[in-house]
Chain A
């Protein structure tokens, strides 16, 4: 199944950058969750270990996704999609509830968050659907079918509720459709159609706290102690880091919990605080490299399936990175969109690494038949 010569076509640079980002993430999680008891001493927080286990599992997932030909995955994409939908339904029925949302399936000591695998699942299905279609995605009916495929898990995830994760499915769909030749005029019409839909959703479908988040983002000073707090503190955290940062574990905003969930949604703010603008540039550079390099893999893909698959996965990834980093600087409304590879969260890390397994897979098999 795995030919030795393929080994030489693995994109080691991309893999290296991905693992480096994961390493930076674990370091920042270590920093923000470090426990300092009043009696003195101190030790790493339990989140570091969880993230390390997830990394191990993630690497295994990456290897599996790398070794098996992506076309095999694509052939079974409908089945995988079906499994995903079943899991999401299961979550809504029997999932565990934390912080007011039902997102997890407890497995032993771990909690599996199926929604994180939604992007890879959708990317596989859509790449298969548009890739096997000789016409590409030129007409409206293809778009509608693809849209329905996306909408099913999206709604299931939004119901948890986890709007942040649900939204990340949209760029995956748009990425694949765009590469498959979707006419931009059509895209514009869809966008225009979405506008009133969005307003409708804002008015009737969003929950109070979601609406409040958007409102306070527009004017954070209106409620600096309440909902605007996170936006202001994110800016303070990043801004106070300066050019060179306060030093590893020397941050004050994250360390003293002025910025909530620093190890999760706001990990990049803490990076900015402790490592400064220089650290931010290094991390942004690595992310940019990963994205451009992956798009390069799409260009090199030997078939449309491969190109669309890579495009879908990396579109979702790029959207998450850009949104989260913008939010980390207090420049976007606070949404539960984590920073892939760096934020704390096992399912997210595993799913992301699996996705990069597929990207490496496409590039590696560009010469095979």
Chain B
């Protein structure tokens, strides 16, 4: 029944079968080439894609380094907080999850959305922290509704704790999530989005050392993002940041803060060891609580810090520039001595004012000081004496010596964003103002008014340079770093400049400053029995007399600033510094605050009980506003 093949048929069939065989062989060869391209030629690319598929690297945040004071007291430490985070790849509907989360925790849904949207470009397996420092109630609420909240996880992470709250807030700075702008910078290379970094103060300046090294948990996940297992051998534990010992003395720092608190004034204070520039205390007020940043600052707090007219976030010690007032007079006196213009015995008659270049400049003391030599001129803060010396020096020589003593230049303290003050010169006026300097302008400069402006930290360097005889020490905060095994002392940075002031000339100025405190001068309130405290008060006008009348109705605080620069003891000083009271009215008020600092310092040095925090009354502040009745006194520095 079946049809056997005829020879013709067979040939035809054989031909067609051969053709079929060739076609199949060619197809297979093409397939082999295709696989070769993927598996051999492009293997690397696909291997990486496969790894991205199933390997997940989760950062384990490292605790930041602990900060100690010079005696080993803990200033800044860590504690664990709970964060609530979202892993997008574990949820199909991010919107629904956020809605439920907002309802469960009472957090604003729009804010959650914004956080997610800001970080939408990150890989979907990376947790996005939605609620930092969750309250126990929020944490429990989330745990209870776990099944309605796919992708929401709780994380226990180390966070910063500042036991002193606002104590030295500007010095420590604060921490927050790294910003996108920072990620672009070389300083933050290797930092992953979401990592906590220092945003101000020491936290920012030493972020590299403090940050530690993030650990990693490397794990295998399946296609729906579920964790299959952790690759222990490839994971790494986080390494805590370096423990750092600061030059700060917690007792001095406390004394500064207590003094300011009792005074009720804002301002700044910097206290140094004049021998090497170690910072013993550093404050700027008003302050903020860095703890409120540590767990993610809430919007309301952030907004209020930013709109506050008193600018609590500004570090006045580094960034505020103010007229130095009479505290500038030592620089003028020393310039005169060193330039050979005057001797300590050079005397000037003060009759309550003097004429220069056709204009009458008043002394702060109506009726005048009589005939005064250098020591008395500093002690009594005689304006006419320094008008005269300044006029003889000319602005450029004043500029030269003020700069050598640290004014008008950066201190180069190891804190970020320092601003620079100004001591004018003919060169400055020519380049910056494109105008000629008039000799008449020098008169105001000689008593620290006019264009002269300084930062409190540069004033502390000034005090230290006067104290140590010409070495412009670099203020610094880091004393030692623990490298995990042992303490490694940090060498003090070299002075910014050094000038040999002859001891007898220096002594003449120091005698004057001693007299300010101990000889019935304006700084008598800083006197400490048994210790030769030297100092100088300064009262700096905020606005010219003419301007004051015009602005009187604006309601702005235009009261004078009060300065007190000091060092002690007179011979071989071990402490130097400055207290600046913003709108503190009078230099002597600053001396009252400095008294508590010095009393604490010497009590500690002598092994005596340290004085209790002063009360407001203890400071005996002078609230008399010389301008209160609109009476315009002389264009001159006071006291």
Measuring CB to CB, which residues of chain A are less than 8 angstroms from any residue of chain B?
Answer: 71, 74-75, 131-132, 134, 136, 175, 178-179, 181, 233, 235-243, 252-253, 256-258, 272, 276-277, 280-281, 284, 287-288, 291-292, 295, 298-299, 301-305, 307, 311, 315, 318, 322, 325-326, 329-331
Contacts and interface: CB of A to CB of B under 8 A. Distances in A.
Among A134, A136, A240, A257, residue most surrounded by chain B Cβ atoms (within 10 Å): A240
A132 B2 contact: yes
Contact of A238 (B3, B14, B35, B54): B35
B300 to A, nearest CB: 39
Closest 7 CB pairs of A and B: A239-B46, A240-B50, A256-B222, A239-B38, A277-B39, A257-B223, A303-B2
Given A233-B53, A242-B47, A326-B34, 20 more contacts: A74-B2, A75-B1, A179-B13, A181-B16, A235-B46, A236-B49, A239-B45, A239-B47, A239-B49, A241-B39, A256-B223, A257-B223, A258-B223, A284-B28, A291-B24, A292-B21, A295-B21, A304-B2, A307-B17, A318-B24
Contact of A325 (B4, B9, B31): B31
A242 B39 contact: yes
A288 B24 CA distance: 8
User: In the complex, which range does the number of interface residues on chain B fall in?
Assistant: 35 or more
A117 to B, nearest CB: 23
For the residues of B in contact with A, the DSSP-based class is: helix
B231 to A, nearest CB: 12
Among B31, B43, B224, residue most surrounded by chain A Cβ atoms (within 10 Å): B31
Nearest to B2: A303
B112 interface: no
A294 to B, nearest CB: 10
Contact of A131 (B3, B16, B17, B50): B3
A242 B24 contact: no
A71 B35 contact: no
A283 B42 CA distance: 21
Among B17, B42, B47, B224, residue most surrounded by chain A Cβ atoms (within 10 Å): B17
A299 B13 contact: yes
Nearest to B12: A181
For the residues of A in contact with B, the DSSP-based class is: helix
Contacts of A257: 222-224
Interface in B389-430: none
A225 to B, nearest CB: 10
Given A253-B53, A277-B40, A326 B12 contact: no
29 contacts: A131-B3, A179-B17, A233-B53, A235-B38, A236-B50, A238-B46, A239-B42, A239-B47, A239-B49, A240-B47, A240-B50, A242-B43, A252-B50, A256-B221, A257-B222, A258-B53, A277-B39, A281-B32, A284-B31, A284-B35, A304-B5, A304-B9, A304-B13, A307-B5, A322-B27, A326-B34, A329-B35, A330-B38, A331-B34
B20 A178 contact: yes
B50 A288 contact: no
A284 B16 CA distance: 23
A301 B17 CA distance: 12
B50 A304 contact: no
A86 B47 CA distance: 49
Contacts of B12: 181
B230 interface: no
B38 A238 contact: yes
Contacts of B5: 301-304, 307
Nearest to A287: B28
B140 interface: no
A272 B39 CA distance: 8
Contacts of B28: 284, 287-288, 322
B186 interface: no
B3 A239 contact: no
B346 interface: no
Contact of B40 (A242, A322, A326, A329): A242
A292 B28 CA distance: 11
B53 to A, nearest CB: 5
Contact of B4 (A240, A299, A303): A303
A331 B228 CA distance: 30
Contacts of B40: 242-243, 277
A310 to B, nearest CB: 9
B37 to A, nearest CB: 9
B35 A277 contact: yes
